[in-house]
């Protein structure tokens, strides 16, 4: 009998990471909780099966991701190793596990899949991609797997008030995220929230909305919100029909482990101590993106912090649990939707 091959495991956690004794069990419980949420919705007729978080896509667009030339040596790792232009997919989304009107406050997601990226990867599955997964808030609302499990149990039917009372910082951050109403996705700044490695050092990153260097500028929105529950998508369609949208991908290197912890993504790394440096430019060119075929293709894509270079390793407890939770979510969703896994183009 042929010897069964085992999937390679990611490199061991770097320094400053501390794995709690309950993390593996808590991760298993989270997978069960999120999987049950997807299965219940599917049993009630939700088709296709949706993501367990960020299920409502505002749009999936084509983009260009250009690494700048002349970067200092401490930034030249992974996709940033040399100046180069890449094609990319970007998915914008609402964070709530249950799709809701855009008029309701919510975390908004920006997930970038850079394609054609060579080099040694963290996990099998996609050999030529680098994902950047972000939301429009600089910090996350749980420090570890145990708190995140408790929070989601409370949100999915437990005593939310009791959990918030026992975890005031978590409650404060989650409330801020859930109360933020977005007028325009192209005007938002999106953050990694959690830490990653950049070669031998730790970093966080963000996608900063900027005016495109050429062409017409996008309109600004203010005042009362439209009655359309899907107005964010409608504005994306209208804006990209007329002009391009641009961001800068910026990173901040850790300068002080005491005030910029890796294991607690609730703590913001202050830019005054860890300044942001632009490493790449993102251009979303004028386009029509709302065809059914393009949206179906994008919804079958998998975005995870673990798609990427060993030099850009996700760090900290929240990122560690995302490895298993995102993988289980993708496998379940594709199985229910009868979609096979393949390298995106």
Multiple choice CATH, 56-315, 3.40.920.10, 1.10.10.10, 2.40.180.10, 1.10.357.10: 2.40.180.10
pLDDT score at 10:
52
pLDDT score at 39:
95
Q: How far apart are CA 324 and CA 73, in angstroms?
A: 33
pLDDT score at 227:
93
In angstroms, how far apart are the furthest CA atoms of the chain?
Answer: 69
Cα separations (Å) of 264 from 18, 107, 258?
A: 11, 19, 11
Tens digits of residue pLDDT in 310-345: 999 999 999 999 999 999 999 999 999 999 888 887
| Strand runs labelled E in the chain | 56-67, 85-94, 108-115, 129-135, 190-191, 196-198, 201-210, 245-253, 276-284
- pTM for the full model? 0.94
9 CB-contact burial (10 Å; exposed 0-12 / middle 13-18 / buried 19+)? exposed
Tens digits of residue pLDDT in 87-106: 999 999 999 999 999 999 99
pLDDT score at 7:
43
How many alpha carbons lie under 13 Å from residue 209 in its C-beta half-sphere?
15
Could you say which residues of the chain have pLDDT below 70?
1-14
Q: Which candidate, 95, 65, 54, 99, places its Cα nearest to that of 301?
A: 54
Which residue has tokens 């320094």?
15
């Amino acid at each position: 009998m042929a010897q069964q091959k085992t999937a390679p495991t990611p490199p061991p956690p770097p320094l400053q990471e501390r794995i709690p004794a309950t993390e593996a069990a808590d991760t298993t419980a989270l997978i069960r909780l999120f999987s049950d949420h997807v299965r219940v919705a599917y049993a009630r007729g939700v088709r296709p099966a949706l993501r367990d978080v960020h299920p409502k896509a505002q749009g999936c667009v084509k983009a260009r991701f250009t690494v700048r030339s002349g970067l200092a040596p401490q930034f030249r790792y992974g996709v940033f190793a040399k100046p180069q232009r890449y094609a990319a997919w970007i998915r914008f989304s609402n964070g709530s596990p249950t799709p809701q009107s855009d008029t309701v406050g919510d975390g908004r997601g920006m997930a970038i899949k850079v394609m054609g990226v060579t080099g040694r990867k963290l996990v099998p599955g996609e050999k030529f991609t680098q994902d950047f997964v972000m939301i429009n808030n600089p910090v996350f609302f749980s420090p570890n797997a145990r708190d995140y499990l408790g929070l989601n149990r409370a949100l999915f039917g437990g005593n939310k008030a009791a959990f918030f009372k026992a975890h005031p910082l978590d409650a404060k951050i989650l409330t801020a995220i859930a109360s933020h109403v977005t007028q325009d996705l192209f005007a938002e700044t999106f953050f990694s929230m959690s830490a990653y490695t950049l070669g031998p050092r730790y970093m966080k990153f963000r996608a900063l909305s900027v005016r495109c260097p050429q062409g017409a500028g996008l309109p600004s929105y203010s005042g009362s919100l439209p009655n359309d529950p899907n107005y964010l998508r409608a504005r994306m369609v209208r804006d990209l029909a007329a002009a391009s949208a641009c961001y800068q991908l910026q990173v901040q290197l850790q300068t002080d482990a005491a005030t910029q912890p890796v294991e607690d993504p609730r703590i913001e790394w202050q830019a005054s101590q860890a300044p942001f440096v632009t490493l790449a430019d993102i251009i979303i060119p004028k386009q029509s993106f709302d065809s059914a075929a393009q949206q179906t293709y994008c919804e079958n894509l998998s975005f995870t912090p673990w798609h990427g270079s060993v030099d850009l390793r996700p760090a900290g407890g929240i990122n560690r649990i995302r490895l298993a939770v995102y993988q289980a979510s993708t496998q379940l969703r594709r199985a229910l939707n009868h979609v096979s896994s393949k390298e995106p183009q």
